[in-house]
Amino acid sequence: MNRILSLLASLLIAFTYCLGATTNSFATSSNPNLTAQYAVLMDYETGKILYEKNANNKLYPASTTKIWTAYVVLKHVSDLNKVVVIKDLPVVEGSSMYLKNGESFTVKQLLDGVLIHSSNDASVALAMYVSGSEEKFVQLMNEEAKLIGAKNTHFNNAHGLPDLDHYTTAHDMALMARKAMNNEIFRSIVKTPSIKFEASEVFPSVRDFRSTNKFLNSNEKIDYKGKEIPIEYDIVDGVKTGYTDDAGRCLVSSAVKDNMRLISAVFKTNGNDLYLDSRTLLDYGFDNYYSTTLVDKENYVNSKRVPFSKEKELIYSPEYSYKLVLPKGTKESEYTVNVNLADIKLPIKKADKVGTFEIYNGKKLEHTMDLVAKDNVNSIFSFITENRVLINTLKIASFILCVVLITFIIIIIRKKSRKSNKSIYSKKNRRRRR
C-alpha cells in the first residue's frame, strides 16, 4: 500500500512539475518596473503595443516635439540642399545653434541641428522657411498628426517649450516616431552622434555639437539589473530626447535586434533613470517577443491572363510583406488569405493597385493591403488607344462624319416631305376639276 501511495505521489509531483514547466515556457517575464509616469513600447512593423503605462494620458512632450517638426519639414521640402538665409528670426529660449541674421544653411544642416543638438532656433527657422511663419507651420504639424491617428495631440510651437496648449500622449508620440522612422533621411540623422559647423564671417567660431541622446555617445554608466553598465547601447539608432521642468526627462528610442525594431517612449522621469527605464523597456520587448513574417510578398506573386494585351498576363503581388509580433513560446494561429482581383482595365502601370489582399485570423478580418502590378500591361491596340494625336484626329473625323450624316438625313427627310406635299397638292387639284 505504501509503495502505491509513494508511486502516486511521485506521479503527482512529476505532473505538477511538467505543468509548471509548460506554463512557464509560454509566459512572459513580469512587466517592467519603471520610474517614468508615462511609457509605451510599440513594434515598429505592426504598430502593436507591447507595453503601456498611462499611454493615453495628456503630457508635455518637450523637445520630442522636434520628431514631428523634422517629419513635416521632410514631407514638404523635396530638395534638402535648398539654402535658408537666416532673417528676422525671433529670440527663442533654450537649446540653440546661436543662429545669426545673414547666416546661410541648407535645410539638411538645420535638420541636423534640430534632431542632433535639439536646437530651438533651427526649429523656428525651418518652420518659417516651410510655411512663412511658425504659426502656420504648427497648423501643418497638427494636420499631419491627425492624418496618422495621433488624435490626442496638439502642437502650439515647433520646438516644445512649455505651453498649456502644447501636449501629446506617450502613445501618440510613439506613433509619430514610427511614422518619422519610415523616412531614410530622418533615420540617418537621428543615429548621428555629433555634428560640426565650420566658422564663417558672420559666426567666427566652430560649432561642434554632440547628440543629446546618451544612448549614442555616452561614457556614463547606470546600475542595470545589479550591474554597472554603459548608457551607450549599440542596438539603439535614435530617436529624440526632451526636457523641461514641466515635462521632466523624456526620451523616444528606436532599437533593432533579432530582425525586429521596437519604439519606446518614456516621459516624466528624472536624471539617468530616463535611460534605465528606456533600456528596461526595450530589453523587455526583445526578451519576450519575436517577429515572424506571415505574408512574404515575394512568395505570393500570382498572375492572370489578360486577353488583347501585349504581355499576355498580369503579374501581381501584395504591396508589402506582413509581419506578426508574438510572445516567445507561442505560434501564430490559423491564418487564411483572400485575394480580390479587380476588373482589369488596360493600360496598367507597374505598382498600380489591381485588387486587395485580405488576411483573416480565423473568421476575423485582421488586415487588408493592396494588390499591385509587378510590371506594365499594355493593350495590343495601344498604338490607337494610347496615341493622343490619333485619338484626337479620330474624334474630329467622327464628329465631322456625324455632322455630314445628320445633314444628309435632314436633306433626305426634306426631299421626302416636299414630294409628299406635291402629291397631296396634285390630288386636291384633280378633285376640283371634277
Q: Tell me: the pLDDT tens digits for 195-250? A: 999 998 889 899 999 999 999 999 999 999 999 999 999 999 999 999 999 999 99
**At 403, which amino acid appears?**
V
Q: Does domain 296-380 have CATH number 2.60.40.10?
A: no
Spatial separation of the C-alpha atoms in residues 101 and 83, rounded to whole Å = 14
**Measured CA distances, 72 to 67, 77, 143, 183, 413 (Å):** 9, 8, 10, 11, 69
Q: Which pLDDT score is estimated for 1?
A: 39
Report yes or no: 175 and 197 within 8 Å, Cβ to Cβ.
no
Could you tell me which residues come within 8 angstroms of residue 48 by beta carbon, excluding any fewer than 6 positions away?
42, 325
For CA atoms 393, 395, 397, 400, the dihedral sign is negative
Q: Which contiguous run of DSSP H or E holds residue 411?
A: helix 388-433
List, for the chain, all residue ranges whose pLDDT scores fall below the cut of 50.
Answer: 1-27
Q: Does domain 38-290 have CATH number 3.40.710.10?
A: yes
Domain spans of the chain, in order of start: 38-290, 296-380
Q: Which pLDDT score is estimated for 433?
A: 56
Report yes or no: 195 and 217 within 8 Å, Cβ to Cβ.
no
Spatial separation of the C-alpha atoms in residues 61 and 271, rounded to whole Å = 16
Residue owning grid cell 517629419:
71
Number of neighbours of residue 56 by Cβ within 10 angstroms:
13
Burial label for 356, CB within 10 Å (0-12, 13-18, 19+), is middle
Spatial separation of the C-alpha atoms in residues 144 and 160, rounded to whole Å = 17
Number of neighbours of residue 96 by Cβ within 10 angstroms:
16
Count of helices and strands (H, E) across the chain: 11, 18
Q: Which pLDDT score is estimated for 392?
A: 74
- Name the pTM for this structure: 0.77
pLDDT tens-digit profile of 77-94?
A: 999 999 999 999 999 999
Q: Which pLDDT score is estimated for 26?
A: 38
The answer to whether the bond into 347 is cis (omega within 30° of 0) is yes
Spatial separation of the C-alpha atoms in residues 121 and 412, rounded to whole Å = 83
**Which three cell numbers mark 249?**
526627462
Spatial separation of the C-alpha atoms in residues 84 and 97, rounded to whole Å = 14
- The radius of gyration computed from the CA coordinates of the chain, to the nearest angstrom, equals 34
Q: Which pLDDT score is estimated for 11?
A: 39
Torsion angle in degrees (nearest 10) through CA of 57, 63, 67, 69: 110
Helix or strand or coil: residue 43? strand
